[in-house]
Amino acid sequence: MAEMVFFFIFAIIAVGSAVAVVTFKNPVHSVLSLMVCFIQMAALFVLLRAPFIAVVQIFVYVGAVLVLFLFVIMMLDIRQASMTRFVAGGHFWIIALLVVLIAEMVVILSRSKFTNMAVAATSRLDGSVKEMGIALFTKYLLPFEVISLILLVALLGAIVLGKKELS
């Protein structure tokens, strides 16, 4: 029961701040409300007994990605240009596309058989970091190494793109 109450609190704050991200005029305000949204998602991960994912969410998203966004916004001094809202001209097609997407979601969710699923009773996870580390370094070692390569490529790409002169 308490879990449901907490889920409702986190979900309402998350949805409200997500709407705020899209509607705020100032990009800095959008980044800050996105931060609120991501912290609520970390709380939801704790409710789902995934504390390691929650901590990674806070570290990587709130600590790195959003701070990077803030740095870029403040560094570029584009405040006048970035303040305008830039709503697209062809509104009708966008709204039609969104309505189709929402209808699709409603149809799929109302027909899915997952909706009243109980937690599986077999082979309980204990949600520990040890479990996660063993899985990452034995069964999922190859994807783990590939992801490190992707990070290296992204690092090099960011450095090359950020250089002043591309001679």
Is residue 34 exposed (0-12), middle (13-18) or buried (19+ Cβ within 10 Å)? buried
37-76 footprint of another protein as x/- string (CB under 8 A): xx--x--xx-xxxx-xx--xx--xx--xx--xx--xx-xx
Restricting to residues 82-111, name those near another protein by CB under 8 A.
Answer: 82, 84-88, 94, 97-98, 101-102, 105, 109
Phi, psi at 140, each rounded to 5°: -110, 35
List binders of another protein among 1-30 (CB under 8 A): 3-4, 7, 11, 14-15, 18-19, 21-22, 27, 30
Contact pick of 9, 74, 107, 112 for another protein (by CB under 8 A): 112
Site for another protein in 114-153 (CB under 8 A): 114-125, 131-132, 135-136, 140, 143, 147, 150-151, 153
Task: List, as one string, the DSSP characters of 112-129.
Answer: -S-TTPPPP-SS-----H
* Minimum separation from the CB atom of position 167 to another protein (A): 14
Are 57 and 2 spatial neighbours (Cβ–Cβ below 8 Å)? no
Phi-psi region of 49 (alpha: psi -120 to 50; beta: other; left: phi over 0): left
